[in-house]
Amino acid sequence: MANYGMALDYKNCINCKACEVACKEENGVLLGADSHRIWVGANDVKGEWPNLDIANASFMPSQCQHCENAPCQEVCPTQATFYDENGIVQVDVDKCILCSYCMVACPYDARYVDDRTMTVDKCTFCSDTRLVRGEITTACQNTCPTKVRTFGDLDDPESEISILLMTREHFSLKAHLGTKPKLFYLT
Amino acid sequence: MFNKILPHRKITIKALFEFDKTPFNIFMGFLTFILVMAFVVGVGNYLIHGHHAYGVTREHPWGLMIAMYVFFVVSSTGLCIISALGHVFKFKSFEFIGKRAIFGAIITIISGFAVIAFEIGHPVRMAIYNTISPGVTSAIWGMGVLYSIYLGLITLEFIFLSRNDHKWSTMFGLGGLVIGIAAHSNLGAVFGFLIGRPMTNGVFYPIYFILSAMITGCYLILLMYGYKYKMKFNKELTKFLVHIARLLGLLLGILIFFEFWRFLTAIYGNVPERADTALHVLASPNFLFGELLLGMLIPFFIILFTKAKAIKYLIYASFGGMIGIFFMRYDLVHDTLVYPMQMMKITEYQLAPTLIHYSPTWTEWAISLGAIGITLSFYYIGENFFFLDPIEHDEYFEDYQEIK
């Protein structure tokens, strides 16, 4: 039993998209722009040469926030979306009826339709591929060349992520909605 | 035996085709046939291609068919409420519409279910897991359960009305009304509960849905009677239609008032996302010409300037009103989803995200509009098969004599 979360040192991100590739490879996510569990958001450089606003160019890696108070779980009519024993928000494909309410309710656009099962799919923190093998890492974290991501147990005060969150300032996306995300962006 | 349970006429299928061959009747028959065929072809394409036949996307997962489902269930609840004015609340002049309105409520909700059955990815699984694994915090679950009970209650109400059993029909009518309002406000809550969508989130939709349902009910009653009496109304019927028109005028006035404050609060202070969405909606032709002009202003001003007496004009405006109601439902879905949940670009060479575009495919149009054909054909069959007008044993038959 753990309470998994992820810290992202997002300013280190170079938008190489290795995490997106690793996620697709590890979890068998279908090809296609809409089929993605994780993504890197990018802001372009603004302005015209030579007055370029390079500070505007930033990269923001993201995925399902595994909210403690997840709107997607609350709105699911069949309890197909549930919290597993490690606090990870999961989808039970046998119960999902594809009403798409969770996709509408998610404030982070973290869900998509898997064309093979015709059910909603999302990031699982690699729980059925890596965690199940006893590897406490995610594919996106493992492949990142600039070590943007740190994955671990938030309830363990000795874990790397807990120490990071105690020593570095951080914020969460759309925290004002009260969803209590478990993705933390380090500043 | 069946006639004892639910009184009906003994007619043959052949007799259904023996109607007065007036140009308008032929047009309506042809239109119904085309719409039903469109539904069948649309469903056929969906069965071949699945959800890929629809124009919905990751960012815009709901589309025209959800809007059309809402359109039908709004119509059903509206007809149920208006019919309850007569045989539940005992407003004398509304009593004789009871059976026709309740029959309309039954067939519109069935049409709605026909649309949603092909929008939900796994409808059979839905029936199973809604029961054995209920997500009670979900507004969709609440809506589904309540609408199922509602359909049962209004069906029983119709049966007891047809049997002239006013004790039980009033009981089931009251039950259907209460459950119908609960179900319908739950449908509003499906949108109102979306915490990530500031334009939609809040108390407005659960309340507004009941109001717009009553307006839809009035439009449909006007259309039904306009069609049935070929726009030739005697004194008594005119009196009833003027009552409906006055009620409609009041409801439209309240709706315009609601919408004014809704948009002013959304824009005031220029709160990001909410104000952007509201300004986008206000400038869209769907809202201006569909919702505002056809759905509200034209019928409202006809009622206002003619003191609710220009019934014929109002019936034509009710047709436009239903088109306006369609736009209200379409915009409800589209405006909820129009603002993207993430504003950074996530694939190379794309432009930064702006408001989300959605365009229904022909399959969505075929199923959605085709379902109107289901309503029309059920209505025609019901008109011939059941006694939708008061019959001799009904207690209000004497009042109705003059109308007839």
Residues of chain B with pLDDT > 90, as a percent, come to: 71
Q: Are A61 and A38 in contact (CB under 8 A)?
A: yes
A131/chain B closest Cα distance in angstroms: 27
Say whether A7 sits in a helix, a strand or coil.
strand
Say whether B25 sits in a helix, a strand or coil.
helix
Say yes or no: B354 contacts chain A, CB-CB below 8 A. Answer: no
Q: What is the pLDDT of residue B391?
A: 66
Chain B residues in contact with A177 (beta carbon < 8 A): 195-196
Q: What is the pLDDT along chain A (187 residues), one digit of tens a residue?
A: 899 999 999 999 998 999 999 999 999 999 988 899 999 998 888 888 888 888 888 899 999 999 999 999 999 999 999 999 999 999 999 999 999 999 999 999 999 999 999 999 999 999 999 999 988 999 999 999 999 999 999 999 999 999 999 999 999 999 999 999 999 999 8
Chain A residues in contact with B50 (beta carbon < 8 A): 118
In this prediction the ipTM stands at: 0.91
User: What is the spatial distance between Cα B393 and Cα B171, in angstroms, rounded to a whole number?
Assistant: 20
Average pLDDT over every residue of B246-253: 95
Q: What is the pLDDT of residue B390?
A: 74
CA-to-CA separations, A116 to A61, A112, B120, in angstroms, rounded = 26, 12, 16
Residue A173: which domain range? 4-186
**CA angle, residues B389, B392, B394, in degrees to nearest 5:** 70
Say yes or no: B63 contacts chain A, CB-CB below 8 A. Answer: no
Of the candidate ranges B47-56, B87-96, B389-398, the one whose mean pLDDT is the lowest: B389-398
B201/chain A closest Cα distance in angstroms: 11
What's A15's DSSP letter? -
Q: Are B338 and B330 in contact (CB under 8 A)?
A: no
Pairs across A and B, CB distance < 8 A: 128
B325 pLDDT above the threshold of 60: yes
A109/chain B closest Cα distance in angstroms: 6
User: What is the spatial distance between Cα B314 and Cα B162, in angstroms, rounded to a whole number?
Assistant: 30
CA-to-CA separations, B45 to A66, B147, B152, B216, B362, in angstroms, rounded = 37, 28, 31, 31, 10
Q: Are B186 and B146 in contact (CB under 8 A)?
A: yes
Among chain B residues, CA nearest to A97: B122
CATH classification at residue A76: 3.30.70.20
Q: Number of structural domains, chain A? A: 1
The residue among A1 and B116 whose pLDDT is bigger is B116
Of the candidate ranges B223-237, B290-304, B317-331, the one whose mean pLDDT is the lowest: B223-237
Q: What is the pLDDT of residue B99?
A: 87
User: What is the spatial distance between Cα B193 and Cα A70, in angstroms, rounded to a whole number?
Assistant: 13
Q: Are B42 and B366 in contact (CB under 8 A)?
A: yes
Chain A residues in contact with B65 (beta carbon < 8 A): none
Say yes or no: B41 contacts chain A, CB-CB below 8 A. Answer: no
Residue partners of B384: CB distance under 8 A and separation at least 6 = B9, B11, B15, B16
- Per residue, the 3-state secondary structure of B332-388, as one string, reads HHHHHHCCCCCCCECCCCCCCCCCCCCCCCHHHHHHHHHHHHHHHHHHHHHHHHCCC
Neighbours of B235 (CB within 10 A): 8
Facing residue for B129 by CB, picked from A44, A97, A112: A97
Residue to mutate among A21, A79, A180, with most B CBs inside 10 A, is A79
Placement of tokens 């064309």 in the chain: A115
- Per residue, the 3-state secondary structure of A44-62, as one string, reads CCECCCCCCEHHHCEEEEE
Q: What is the pLDDT of residue B398?
A: 60
Strands A149-153 and A38-43 come out as unpaired
Q: What is the pLDDT of residue B392?
A: 59
Q: Are B341 and A177 in contact (CB under 8 A)?
A: no
**CB atoms B58 and A34 under 8 Å:** yes
**How do residues B5-18 score in pLDDT, each as one tens digit?**
888 778 888 878 88
**How do residues B126-144 score in pLDDT, each as one tens digit?**
999 999 999 999 999 999 9
Average pLDDT over every residue of B299-318: 93
The residue among B34 and B390 whose pLDDT is bigger is B34
A122/chain B closest Cα distance in angstroms: 12
Q: What is the pLDDT of residue B393?
A: 53
Chain B residues in contact with A75 (beta carbon < 8 A): 135, 137-140, 193
Say yes or no: B14 contacts chain A, CB-CB below 8 A. Answer: no
Say yes or no: B64 contacts chain A, CB-CB below 8 A. Answer: no
Q: Cα-flanking dihedrals φ and ψ of residue A42, to 5°?
A: -130, 135
Q: What is the pLDDT of residue B165?
A: 83
Q: What is the pLDDT of residue B400?
A: 58
B231 pLDDT above the threshold of 70: yes
Show the tokens assigned to B315.
């019936």
Q: What is the pLDDT of residue B95?
A: 81
B92 pLDDT above the threshold of 90: no
A186: enclosing H helix or E strand: strand A183-186
Residues from A in contact with B at Cβ < 8 Å: 33-34, 36, 39-44, 60, 62, 71, 74-80, 94-101, 103-109, 111-113, 115, 118-119, 174, 177-179
**CB atoms A79 and B344 under 8 Å:** no
Which residues in A88-165 belong to E strands, given as ranges? 89-91, 112-114, 119-121, 149-153
Show the tokens assigned to A134.
């006893």
Facing residue for A41 by CB, picked from B123, B193, B342: B342
Of the candidate ranges A2-16, B352-366, B383-397, the one whose mean pLDDT is the lowest: B383-397
Facing residue for B141 by CB, picked from A77, A109, A174: A77
Q: What is the pLDDT of residue B107?
A: 95
Show the tokens assigned to B109.
């909700």
What's B294's DSSP letter? I
What rounded mean pLDDT belongs to chain B? Answer: 90
Q: What is the pLDDT of residue B14?
A: 81
**pLDDT band (50, 70, 90) for residue B395:** low
Show the tokens assigned to B310.
């220009």
Chain B residues in contact with A62 (beta carbon < 8 A): 342
User: What is the spatial distance between Cα A94 and Cα A79, in angstroms, rounded to a whole number?
Assistant: 11
| pTM (two decimals) | 0.93
Q: Are B213 and B248 in contact (CB under 8 A)?
A: no
State the sign of the Cα–Cα–Cα–Cα dihedral B25, B28, B34, B40. Answer: negative
**How do residues B70-83 score in pLDDT, each as one tens digit?**
999 999 999 999 98
CA-to-CA separations, B170 to A86, B6, B105, B165, B166, in angstroms, rounded = 53, 17, 16, 9, 6
The residue among B378 and B98 whose pLDDT is bigger is B378
Chain B residues in contact with A83 (beta carbon < 8 A): none
Q: What is the pLDDT of residue B396?
A: 59
User: What is the spatial distance between Cα A112 and Cα A120, in angstroms, rounded to a whole number?
Assistant: 6
